Chain A
Amino acid sequence: MTTETVQIDIDSDFMRTPEKVMRLERMGSSFPTRLSFMRTLIRRMSKENWKFERTRREVDKDGYGISVYAVTTPNRTYSLIAFTQEIPADMRTDRVIAEVWDATFSLFDGVPSQEDIDYLADNTPKQEAGRYRPSELTLSRANKSLRVFKNVVDSLSAGNQPDKDLLTSVGYLMRTSAVYGSGKFGCADRDKISDREECKAPFQIELLTVYLIRWFTIDSAEELAKERGGEKAVKLDKTTRRFIGVGNATGLGMAPFLLKHPALIHNWVVAKETALARVRSIETPIEGTLKVFLKSLLQVSQHVDEWNVEDDIQSERISCLTDEIQALRLWCENEPNILRPYPWNGIYQYVEDNFSLECQEMVVSLIIEPHGALVDDLAETMSTTEIPKFKADMSLSELKEVVADSYQWATTIDFSLGESQHHFWYYSEDKLEPRFGSKGVDDGVEKEMPLAIGRDVHDLNEKLLETSNATSLSDFVMSYPQFRHIIRRIQNTFVRPYSEVQDNLLSETMRPLDLLRFKLAFFGASKFDPKSNLWTRISMYQGAPMPDQLSEPNHDCWSFPIGGRSQSYPCINCTCQKDI
């Protein structure tokens, strides 16, 4: 299905404008929705009854060795090959420049032979320094949260469940620090798999890898406990297993991707905004949905209560969010506020008028959540295969008009000010680690990545204004080839109004963290835990069903999970509604 076959009305009165949505501050307040890619994948796993099996476990008494976890879809099998090893504590880093990891993984396309496993045993533990083949779909690694992993293994081996508070505060046993796909280091190109049904939505194969890693972390801890505790050992209880996610540490690498794929980003945002617009345009609420929403406000209060971070800015936001959710609950308890036509629009509007961006975006997720039947088709519109083309037959006057209409946010920035061009993005020779530099402080400005969209549009606009409309575009780019890339970008983005971040990415006040959170929210990540303006930790699949729980009726109910509960608040689409 494409955007042409799913009903999308960008001009709907209920759509939020690109000028409102595509601003860094709001993007940096994003939360996952039911359209997030992990949610889409879990729904498919359940619907298609995917089979999961650990097919190999050859490890020593400390759990070091090789394991293989296979998943079989209706059409094929994928195998996660995991290599574990002991590493020195002081070499445990989440950075790209790391050299060793507790666990490393390759997702193999099919069932690996012994020869394949031997090849990967020589390469996967080296990560970026190894080489991979088109039979490998992803490459990944993870490090333990030592205190949680130890507590879980020690507790289970002694016949006890782990420390719930500790588990809730961290949320995972291991933290991934990269999941490479799409041809990285020789792995399969996306084109190899893009026609497969289970790979059509964005990042499905990468997120399948993470799901299997999550299973691996839990399985490994339980097996180690059994090894140490023998008959006394117990497994994690069902509720705890489901609550445990897998961590991730994310840095600057995600930001360039976001900026280099404007058509894709447009599709993501249009899908989410269309979902919101569809819900806001409901005159009479679908039976049960308001009740679900009100219940969800109670649950997110606890979710937010469990969301503890050290970062001062985010702590303050969370504190404010706590108060605002409470205030919203009180407002909703006053029935005339919600028992009226267009109640969802009323709720959204009230929140937008009165509360922080963090609260606004959380409420967007909450009001979309009970409306799966209304919005889930949009998940199928979030990919693109389009390669942007330069359109030489556009006239210069048309280009000038497009820049004036669609890029006012860029042409009005004063780039003569130092603060407007404070930063630059670059690749370090240190394992190609992406870094964010400051002009006048860091070396390498002449090698900056071409991500200065606003500045490039601004400079193009200056040149266009002094060029006659009689000049053809092909003549213009022959004279000024330095503008070819930005013209191509403009030609392909002005018809996709949600494709551009409408802020200056070089500004002194720019926080790459906002871009990271925006993208991670679309993945379905939660519990954003910023470690700086360039770096964040997150949880993935927290609350999601484990492989043996995928057939349960509440498999899709894991939005804003909370510790110690068997399920998330019920959605309107499944039988757990009766628990309301």
Chain B
Amino acid sequence: MSKRHLTISLNEVLFYFTRAAFGVNAPIGLSEDFARGNIWVSENGFDPSRCSLKALDNLDSKASSLSIKFEKTKDGGHLFCPEGKFLSSLEASSSCVDWIEVSNGSGALKISNVDSPFLVVSALGANGCLGIKVLWTDQEKNQFQVNLINNDDWEVLSSSSTLIELSSNADMLISPLTASDESNKGNIIKKFNLAEEKLKILHIGVKVEENWDAIYSYFSRCLVKSSAESRASGAGAGLVDTD
């Protein structure tokens, strides 16, 4: 499985990405959320390994942290990492979905210094957080706005041709979508329809490219080395079955 340019299924996205996150010591609950977000990413035609590797690398190298704090603000709330590191998008994703559920999406949520902003978007999409917009400007000064319009339709407005899935760390702002947000002059607009994209993916599979080997390598950390004893007894059956 550790080959580049593979086509994998959505179920394999769930299987491998959950364990890849667990492999960089993310708690299993966050790992499951991370994998669900990656399914949404895949269903929309993106390569999930391209979207996610940076977030896993950052956790592995401890450049990012799962440590998070919330404080109320006059408009809504603010999520940040109290350790002065990047806030891991794995933790930011789950926490912002929780905030939207509790607040019913009213008000604005600021998330500071998130390492992979698109993963936060993927969590919102995967959890059906609709009628909201997500804004950020990354380190390369690329501006992105994602409008999650309804169950199927969402769009990306960006100031450059930089791929949204590669967008670097940024402060993010999540707020209710208004009518004027849906047409923003001067930006590159890309529209998505989840139902249509997913149908395509179900028939062609999810393509994963150059980052897949690294994802698989994190996944492999969850596997236990086989010994002669475990091979002989761990599965409860013999090594030859002739009858």
Contacts and interface: CB of A to CB of B under 8 A. Distances in A.
Contacts of B27: 481-482, 484-485
Contact of A92 (B12, B32, B98, B241): B241
A391 to B, nearest CB: 7
A532 B231 contact: no
Interface string B212-237: 00000000111111110111001111
B30 A534 contact: no
A485 B28 contact: yes
A189 B222 CA distance: 24
B11 A182 contact: yes
A474 B70 contact: yes
A475 B220 CA distance: 32
Interface string A185-196: 111111110000
B39 to A, nearest CB: 9
Nearest to A433: B235
Contact of A475 (B70, B97, B230): B70
Nearest to B223: A429
Interface string B65-83: 0101110000000000000
Contacts of A96: 235
Interface in A410-449: 426-430, 432-437, 442-444, 447
B225 A427 contact: no
Nearest to A435: B234
Nearest to A148: B243
A126 interface: no
B32 A485 contact: yes
A430 B10 contact: no
B12 A435 contact: no
Contacts of A89: 242
A393 B99 CA distance: 9
B202 interface: yes
B29 A485 contact: yes
Contacts of B236: 251-252, 436, 512, 531-535
Nearest to A177: B241
Contacts of A553: none
A428 B223 contact: yes
A375 B27 CA distance: 43
Interface in A468-501: 472-475, 477-478, 481-488
A249 to B, nearest CB: 7
A143 interface: yes
A126 to B, nearest CB: 13
Contacts of A91: 240
A427 B202 contact: no
Interface string B131-164: 0000000000000000000000000000000000
A474 B98 contact: yes
Given A146-B243, A392-B102, A450 B234 contact: no
A90 B240 CA distance: 6
Contacts of B227: 443
A389 interface: yes
Nearest to A429: B223
A305 to B, nearest CB: 21
Contact of B226 (A191, A428, A535): A428
Interface in B74-102: 91, 94-95, 97-99, 101-102
Given A183-B11, A189-B9, A435-B224, A134 B203 contact: yes
Nearest to A145: B243
Give the one of B12, B98, B198, B220 with max A CB within 10 A: B98
Contact of B230 (A249, A392, A435, A450): A435
Give the one of B69, B95, B242 with max A CB within 10 A: B242
B224 A146 contact: no
Interface residues of B, number: 53
A190 B70 contact: no
Give the one of B29, B95, B202, B236 with max A CB within 10 A: B236
Contacts of B127: 389
B235 A252 contact: yes
A54 interface: no
Contacts of A182: 11
A436 B237 CA distance: 12
Give the one of B102, B223, B243 with max A CB within 10 A: B243
Contacts of B110: none
B102 A393 contact: yes
Nearest to B241: A94
Contacts of A185: 12
A477 B98 contact: yes
Given A390-B98, A437-B230, A484-B29, A478 B70 contact: yes
B231 to A, nearest CB: 6
Given A427-B224, A429-B226, A531-B237, A188 B242 contact: no
Contact of A186 (B33, B205, B234): B205
Contacts of B188: none
A532 B234 CA distance: 11
Contacts of A432: 223
A428 B243 contact: no
A173 B170 CA distance: 62
A130 to B, nearest CB: 11
A249 B237 contact: yes
A184 B235 contact: no
Interface in B48-69: 66, 68-69
Contacts of B102: 392-393, 472, 474
Given A435-B235, A474-B70, A442 B229 contact: yes
Contacts of B66: 481
Nearest to B222: A447
Interface in A483-536: 483-488, 512, 531-535
A97 B231 contact: yes
B230 A442 contact: yes
B7 interface: yes
A93 interface: yes
A183 B241 CA distance: 28
A48 B83 CA distance: 64
Contacts of B33: 390, 484
Contact of B222 (A94, A427, A430, A477): A427
Contact of B234 (A90, A170, A442): A442
A69 to B, nearest CB: 24
Nearest to A456: B28
A93 B242 CA distance: 7
A147 B242 CA distance: 9
Given A429-B226, A472-B102, 12 more contacts: A94-B241, A133-B7, A184-B12, A251-B235, A390-B29, A426-B223, A442-B230, A474-B95, A474-B102, A481-B66, A484-B94, A488-B32
27 contacts: A90-B240, A90-B242, A94-B237, A134-B9, A134-B204, A143-B241, A146-B242, A146-B243, A183-B9, A186-B7, A187-B9, A189-B9, A249-B241, A392-B97, A426-B224, A429-B226, A435-B230, A442-B234, A447-B222, A447-B223, A450-B28, A474-B99, A475-B70, A478-B95, A481-B94, A482-B27, A485-B29
Cβ-closest 9 pairs across A and B: A534-B236, A484-B29, A183-B11, A444-B224, A435-B234, A183-B9, A485-B29, A392-B98, A430-B226
